[in-house]
Amino acid sequence: MELYEQLQQRTGVAIVGPPGSGKSTIRRILKAALSQRGQSVAEYVLYPKAMSRRWLLGHIDPDTRHWSDGVISTVALQLAAHPHEMCSWAVCDGDVEPEWVEALNSVLDDNRLLTLPSGARVLLPRGAHFLFETHALHHASPATVSRLGIVLLSEEHSCAEEVLESWLRKAEFESELGKLALPLLHQTTKKCIEWFDKHKSDVTMKIYTVTMVNQILTQFEYVMENDASNVGISPEELVYLAIHRSVLGIIKESALDAFYTEISCVECVAGGGGGARTAGGQWAETLYVSARLAHCDLVLRAALARRAHILLIGPQACAKK
């Protein structure tokens, strides 16, 4: 409702919140609600960070002096072609930077007139809007921020537990081992969320709780598919493997004991978690895979199996490649 009300008053609206907070979700919900009421919505999603300013706004060829429209100018022309009664959104997903957003200040005013670098002017209809999905507006100038309606999704009110609950309701495992592990996974993941909220200074990089929950669930699904068939493995060990492979890598070594204490409901964690790493390395073709690399390999395989994006972080010569 807040997004809908802002769109009634402003040409440009910024949805600000951390990753996984539901910025895209509320936009899709509003689009679905308008569609059910018979209101057609045209949507153009842009990623300004993925291209240079000249390709985003347009450029002049230095040899032929021919003007080529950029992505934003092309989308603006398409928005201008829609009838006034039709809703049309240009969604800019990513960081809001002055390098390109300052060019939109004229269209964010009440006159809705976009002035292109070529000197051409495009008048947008009443139903056309610019939406910005970003995690912060630190780099936007006061001139831009004052023209925007802002929907703020606070970092303090994360929907991580809702994501966990939704996954648990949909989870279906045929094996008895998986059914026994689900309550333990639920309890332990909630303890992880509480620990990370209280110990934000004890991690090597900032991680959002929704991202952490998704990583734990990704690793648990992979463990269930590949390790659950091992004879003698317990539900506690399955949950520990998922926790170990997903979050232990970003916790500072000095805080590991505190983390183990917090999630001590899992029996194998209290016992030290044997079996999380292999005892020694092995040769894979011409590459020696140490125990540390073998552990990382399992983590990467789980992410690839779910087709998730991967970010490798580490100092030089730590075997990222």
Write out pLDDT tens, residues 75-94.
988 888 888 888 999 999 98
Please give the torsion angle defined by the CA atoms of residues 129, 135, 140 and 143, in that order, rounded to the nearest 10 degrees: 50
> For the residues 143-149, what does the mean pLDDT come to?
90
Render pLDDT for 185-218 as a digit per residue (tens, 0 to 9).
Answer: 898 898 888 888 888 888 888 888 888 888 888 8
Question: How does residue 289 score in pLDDT terms, banded at 50, 70 and 90?
Answer: low
The confidence score (pLDDT) of residue 50 equals: 87
Q: Per-domain residue ranges for the chain?
A: 2-152, 160-305
The confidence score (pLDDT) of residue 20 equals: 78
Question: Helical H runs in 131-262?
Answer: 142-145, 160-170, 176-198, 209-226, 235-246, 256-262
Please give the torsion angle defined by the CA atoms of residues 169, 167, 242 and 174, in that order, rounded to the nearest 10 degrees: 50
H/E element, 81: helix 71-81
The confidence score (pLDDT) of residue 231 equals: 56
Question: How does residue 228 score in pLDDT terms, banded at 50, 70 and 90?
Answer: low
> For the residues 274-301, what does the mean pLDDT come to?
57
Q: Pick 272 or 33 by higher pLDDT.
A: 33
The answer on pLDDT for 270 being more than 60 is no
Residues of the chain above pLDDT 70, percent: 88
CB 259 within 8 A of CB 204: no
The answer on pLDDT for 299 being more than 70 is yes
> Which stretch of 19-28, 144-153, 312-321 has the lowest confidence by average pLDDT?
312-321
> For the residues 279-292, what does the mean pLDDT come to?
55
What is the spatial distance between Cα 286 and Cα 296, in angstroms, rounded to a whole number?
Answer: 18
Angle at 303 between CA 49 and CA 46, to 5 degrees: 20
> For the residues 141-167, what does the mean pLDDT come to?
85
Angle at 168 between CA 249 and CA 27, to 5 degrees: 85
Write down the mean pLDDT value for the chain: 81
Question: How does residue 33 score in pLDDT terms, banded at 50, 70 and 90?
Answer: very high
Instruction: Tell me which CATH code domain 2-152 carries.
Output: 3.40.50.300
The confidence score (pLDDT) of residue 91 equals: 92
What is the spatial distance between Cα 104 and Cα 167, in angstroms, rounded to a whole number?
Answer: 40
What is the spatial distance between Cα 112 and Cα 25, in angstroms, rounded to a whole number?
Answer: 27
**Token pair in block for residue 170:** 């949909």
The answer on pLDDT for 268 being more than 50 is no
What is the spatial distance between Cα 162 and Cα 210, in angstroms, rounded to a whole number?
Answer: 9
Residues of the chain above pLDDT 90, percent: 10
The confidence score (pLDDT) of residue 30 equals: 92
Please give the torsion angle defined by the CA atoms of residues 138, 144, 145 and 147, in that order, rounded to the nearest 10 degrees: -170
> Which stretch of 123-137, 260-274, 293-307 has the lowest confidence by average pLDDT?
260-274
Question: How does residue 44 score in pLDDT terms, banded at 50, 70 and 90?
Answer: very high
Residue type, 243: I
